[in-house]
Chain A
Amino acid sequence: MQQIFAELFSGVVDMVSIAGLKSLIMFVIAGVLIYLAIKKDYEPTLLLPIGFGCILANLPGAIDAVTGLKAPAALGEAGFLSVLFDAGIANELFPVLIFIAVGAMIDFSPLLKDPSMIFFGAAAQFGIFATFLLSLVLIPIIPGLVAEGDQDMVLKLASAIGIIGAADGPTTLFVANHFELKDYMGPISVAAYSYMALVPVIQPPVIKALTTKKERMIRMDYQEERCSKTTLILFPIIVTIVAGIIVPMSAPLVGSLMFGNLIRECGVLERLSKTAQNELANLVTIVLGITVGGTMVADKFLHPTTALILILGLFAFVFDTAGGVLFAKFLNLFRKKKVNPMIGAAGISAFPMSSRVIAKMALKEDPSNFILMQSTSANVSGQLGSIVAGGMVITLVSMLLGG
C-alpha cells in the first residue's frame, strides 16, 4: 500500500528535494518569460512558448517506456519535445523554415533603391566577432565552464555566444546546433530572443553615447523612384548564387530566405506567399519556441555558463550597435552627403524593430526628419549580413576545430 502511494505521488516526493528546488527555480524563470511575453509584449510569439516548454522540461520525471530511465514525460526518448527536437532542430529544419517565412515578409525594395546602405549590414556584425574574441578570453579563465585544455569546446561555445550578436534567432540556433551545443541551446536562444525584444531599450543609450545631437539631426535624401519588378525577382536569385559560391555554409539560410522572398516577389504565387508569411511562420514559431524551451533543463540551465552567455549576449548587441554607428561616422569623413550615423545601428538583423527605433529617435530630435526608409534599407541589409556572418563563423571555426 505504502509503495503504491509512493509511486502515485512520486512527483510530489521529487519536488521535496534539491532537484525539486532547482525545478522550482526553473518554474520561476519560466514565469518571468511568460510574464515578459504577456505583460510587456516582449517577443510574445517566442518567449511564451519558450517559457511553457521550460515548465514541461522541469516537471518531475516518470519512468520512460522506451529507456526505462526516469525523465520528464515530455522529454523522454518518446516524449513529444524530444521528437520535435530531433525532427526540427537537430537537423536544422526549423531555422530554415523560419527563414522561408521571413523572406516572404521582407521587402528589399528600399535597399535596391539605395544599395549603399548595404555596408551598414556588414559593419553592424562587428559585435559578433568582438564578442567571440571576448568569449575566447573569458571562457578559459572562469573555472568549471569547460574542461581544462578543451580548446575545441571553447571555440564552439564562443562562436555560439558571439552569434547572439547577429540579433537573429534562427541563425543563432543554426550555429549552436551546428556545433552540437544542445546543452547551451536554452540560454543562447533565451538571450538572443530576449535581447531582440529589448532593442528599444539597448540601442538608444549606445547611439546617444556615440553621437552628437547635431549628428542625430542629419537629414537624408530619399529617392522615390520605383524599383522594377525584374530587379526584385533577380535579386534573390543572384544573391543566393553569389552567397552560395563565396560562403557555401550560408547557403541553407540565404537560400531559404531568398526562396521565401522570390515567392513574394514573383507575383504568381500569392497564395504560397501568404501561407509562408502566416501559417508557416506561425506553425514553426509555435513548435520552435516550445522545443527550445524544452532544452532548459534545470541541471544544464542553472550553471555559471548561463550567466556568462546572458552577459556576453548583451555585449554583442551593444558592440553591434556601436560598430554600425562608428562605421557610419567613418563613412561621413569621405562623403559629401552625410549619412545620419544612427542609420548604422539599424544594420543589425532585428527586423523591423531596429529600423523603427532609429526612425523614432530621429523624429524625437527633429519632428520633420523622416529616415524610416533608409533605416529599413540598413535593417534588411543586416538580415543578409547576419546570415553571411553565421556562415563565415561556421566555416572558419569548423576548419580550426581539431587542430
Chain B
Amino acid sequence: MKKLIAILLPLLMSATALAEDTIGIIGSADGPTSIFVAEQSLLSKGLIVTAGGLCGVFLVLILFFFTIKIMQKILK
C-alpha cells in the first residue's frame, strides 16, 4: 500500500499541478487566452474538467487521509 502511494502520489501531484496551471491560465484569461479557451472543442473542455475533477477529488481525499493519520499519531 505504501509503495502504491509512493508511486501514485507524485503522479497525482504533477497531474494536479498541470490541472491547476490550466485553471490558472483560464482564470486569468486575457484576450488571446480567452480565444484559446473559446477555440477548444467541447470534448477538450470535458477532458479538462474530467482530469482536473478526478485529480482534485483524489488530492483532497488523500489530504484527509494524511490528516487522519497525523491526528492518530499525535493523539496516541
A residues contacting B by CB (< 8 A) are: 111-112, 115-116, 118-119, 121-122, 125-126, 128-130, 132-133, 136-137, 140, 151, 154-155, 158-159, 228, 230-231, 234-235, 238-239, 242-243, 246-247, 331, 334-335, 381, 384-385, 388-389, 392-393, 395-397, 399-400, 403
> Interface code B22-54, partner A: CB below 8 Å = 1, 0 otherwise?
010011010000100110101101111110111
From A136, A158, A388, B57 is in contact (CB under 8 Å) with A388
Q: Is the CB of B42 within 8 A of A155?
A: yes
Most buried by A among B26, B34, B45, B63: B45
Task: Report the minimum CB–CB distance from A10 to chain B (whole Å).
Answer: 46
Q: In whole Å, how far is A384's beta carbon from the nearest beta carbon of chain B?
A: 7
Whether B43 and A246, one on each chain, are in contact in the complex, defined by CB atoms closer than 8 angstroms, is: no
Q: How far is the CB of A235 from chain B (nearest CB, A)?
A: 7
Is A384's CB under 8 angstroms from B61's CB?
yes
Q: Is B61 a contact of A385 with CB atoms below 8 Å? A: yes
Q: Hey, which chain B residues are within 8 Å of A119, CB to CB?
A: 58, 61-62, 65
A118 in complex: contacting residue of B3, B34, B38, B65, CB < 8 Å: B65
**Given A334-B3, A403-B29, A403-B37, A234–B46 Cβ distance below 8 Å?**
no
A189 to B52, CA, bound (A): 25
Contact of A242 among B38, B56, B63 (CB under 8 A): B63
Question: What would be 22 A-B contacts, judged by CB atoms less than 8 Å apart?
Answer: A115-B64, A115-B69, A119-B61, A126-B54, A136-B43, A136-B45, A151-B42, A155-B45, A235-B71, A242-B64, A243-B60, A247-B60, A334-B3, A335-B1, A385-B57, A388-B60, A389-B53, A392-B56, A396-B23, A396-B48, A397-B49, A399-B23
- Flag whether B14 is at the interface (Cβ < 8 A): no
User: Are A400 and B48 in contact (CB-based, < 8 A)?
Assistant: yes
A-B contact count (CB 8 A): 128
Interface 0/1 of B64-76, CB less than 8 Å to A:
1101110110010
Task: Among B23, B27, B43, B72, find the residue whose CB has the most chain A CB atoms closer than 10 A.
Answer: B72
Given contacts A126-B54, A392-B52, contact A400 B61 (CB under 8 A): no
Which residues on the A side are within 8 Å of B48 (C-beta)?
Answer: 396, 400
Establish whether residues A238 and B45, one from each chain, have CB atoms under 8 Å apart when the complex forms: no
Whole-angstrom distance between the Cβ of A119 and the nearest chain B Cβ: 7
Q: Is the CB of B61 within 8 A of A334?
A: no
Contact residues in A for B71 (Cβ distance below 8 Å): 231, 234-235, 238
CB-defined contacts of A396 to chain B, threshold 8 Å? 23, 48-49, 52-53
Instruction: Decide yes or no whether B59 CB sits under 8 A from chain A.
Output: yes
Q: Indicate if the CB atoms of A388 and B45 lie closer than 8 Å.
A: no
Q: Are B29 and A388 in touch, CB under 8 angstroms?
A: no
CB pair A154–B27 under 8 Å, yes or no, is no
CB-CB < 8 A to B46: which residues of A?
132-133, 136, 158
Residue of B nearest to A391 (CB): B56
- Determine the residue in chain A with the shortest Cβ distance to B27: A399
Query: How far apart sit A349 and B65, CA to CA, in the bound complex (Å)?
Result: 18
- Bound together, the chains give a CA A151 to CA B37 distance in angstroms of 12
Given contacts A115-B68, A159-B49, 10 further A-B contacts (CB under 8 A): A116-B1, A129-B53, A130-B50, A155-B45, A231-B68, A231-B72, A235-B71, A247-B56, A384-B61, A388-B60
